[in-house]
Amino acid sequence: MTTTYQTIVVETDARGVATVALNRPDKHNALNGTLIAELYDAAQKLAADESVRIVVLTGIGKSFCAGGDFNWFASNVEKSRAERVEQSATLARLLRRLDTLPKPLIGRINGPAYGGGVGMISVCDYTIGAEGARFGLTEVKLGLLPANISPYVVARIGKVHSRETMLSGALFDTARAERIGLLTEVVAPDGLDAAVDRVVHDHLQAAPGAVADTKALIAYVASHDLETNMIYTADRLADAWETEEGIEGINSFINKDIPSWRVK
């Protein structure tokens, strides 16, 4: 099934794998108000669709995402302070929606990514980059800040690497992107689809409900102290033992059966 927006394309296959492609190739998939709104809408619908198990995020054309569209930036300069804050917040809400998507979000990074594009890579759960791509947190070169993306970029690559990359705005290659944790792995451009298929297959072995709960578990544990986490995690495991997936998974293991959610 294919859903076409003005600036993105969403395709979902029979396995429940949805591919969301940024579709402004003539603008290197730069973010503007329309793309942000459409991507948010698609993410909301995919999050609620129980038939969708995995989401792959990529770009059409040579680039993954060039960051913010300069015409969008310019239009915001003309607006009131309240309007500028609201426009800025739309990107923050999009990143939050992608970050909390209750399914694996796999980044198929087909080309360069700058600014907000790096932010979108940072909210993916697994990222595969095409060798030869370039990356940059270039906002300071424009007299701007990597503001809305910073919580996710810092969480992804850490404080030290954030300072190394954000304060100069210098570009870096896939080898460095992998070394600092922005990319999970790097492959030759002609091997990108095969690598994505391999990772998708791995994720299709996991129970969807358990995946959603585990993603929420990671977010909670990362933001709470040990004593609180001990209570929280004891409750969550007890809950898991009572779910249909948990019961089926345990019984399948004992009986050497294949649980219903696994895709060959």
**In sequence order, which residues have a C-beta less than 8 Å from that of residue 85 and are 6 or more positions away?**
none
Question: Which residues make beta-bridge pairs with 108?
Answer: 128
**Which one has a higher pLDDT value, 89 or 186?**
186
Q: What is the pLDDT of residues 20-50, one digit of tens each?
A: 999 999 999 999 999 999 999 999 999 999 9
Contacts of 190 (CB under 8 A, 6+ apart): none
| Cα distance between residue 155 and residue 148, in whole Å | 13
117-135 confidence digits (pLDDT tens): 999 999 999 999 999 999 9
Band of residue 86 on the pLDDT scale cut at 50, 70, 90: confident
Alpha-carbon span 104 to 45, nearest angstrom: 15
Measured distance CA(129)–CA(186) in Å, rounded: 5
* 2-203 placed in CATH 3.30.470.20: no
Determine the Cα–Cα distance for residues 206 and 126; give it in Å rounded to an integer.
15
Interior angle at CA 161, CA 158 and CA 166, nearest 5: 110
pLDDT at 115 over 90: yes
Residues contacting residue 124 through CB under 8 Å, at least 6 positions apart:
57, 98, 105, 106, 107
Q: How confident is the model at residue 80 (pLDDT cuts 50, 70, 90)?
A: confident
Angle CA 154–119–224, to nearest 5: 40
Q: What are the Cα distances from residue 252, in Å, to 83, 249, 261?
A: 55, 5, 11
- Contact predicate 39/18, CB 8 Å: no
Does pLDDT of 16 surpass 80? yes
State the average pLDDT over residues 53-76.
88
Which pair of structure tokens corresponds to residue 85?
């804050």
Name the amino acid, one letter, at 222. Answer: A
228 backbone dihedrals φ, ψ, rounded to 5°: -65, -40
pLDDT for 167 beyond 80: yes
Global pTM value: 0.95
pLDDT at residue 85, rounded to an integer:
78
Q: Which tokens hold the place of 116?
A: 């907000």
Domain range summary for the chain, segments of one domain joined by +: 2-203, 208-255
| DSSP state string for 107-160 | EEE-S-EETHHHHHHHT-SEEEEETT-EEE--GGGGT---TTTHHHHHHHHHHH
User: What are the backbone dihedrals phi and psi of residue 220, each rounded to the nearest 5 degrees, phi first?
Assistant: -70, -50
pLDDT band at 84 (very low <50, low <70, confident <90, very high): confident
| Contact predicate 153/133, CB 8 Å | no
